[in-house]
Amino acid sequence: MTKFVIFRDKAGFYRWRLVAGNGEIVAASEAYTTKYNAIASANRVKQIAFSAIVIDSTI
């Protein structure tokens, strides 16, 4: 099951990781000073990611 995992880093900031069903980390957030903001960020990504397009900038 794919999931967002909220955690505290070594500096004490809150972050999230998007973890695939196989345990691979596929995305990670910036640092947030509050858990609320980390959760809000994960929820924003969850809401908008389905409509994102892939752009190949190598061509």
Taking alpha carbons only, the member of 13, 40, 41 closest to residue 27 is 41
Interval 11-32 mean pLDDT: 98
Half-sphere exposure of 53 (CA within 13 A, CB side): 3
Structure tokens at 16: 């999230």
Helix (H, G, I), strand (E, B) or coil at 45: helix
> Residue 40's pLDDT band (boundaries 50, 70, 90)?
very high
CA distance 21 to 48: 20
Its CATH class, for the domain covering 3-51, is alpha beta
φ, ψ of residue 16 in degrees (nearest 5): -125, 155
The domains of the chain are located at 3-51
pLDDT for position 59? 84
pTM for the full predicted model: 0.87
Out of 2-6, 7-11, 26-30, 46-50, least confident range: 46-50
Model confidence at 20: pLDDT above 90: yes
pLDDT for position 54? 94
CB 25 within 8 A of CB 15: no
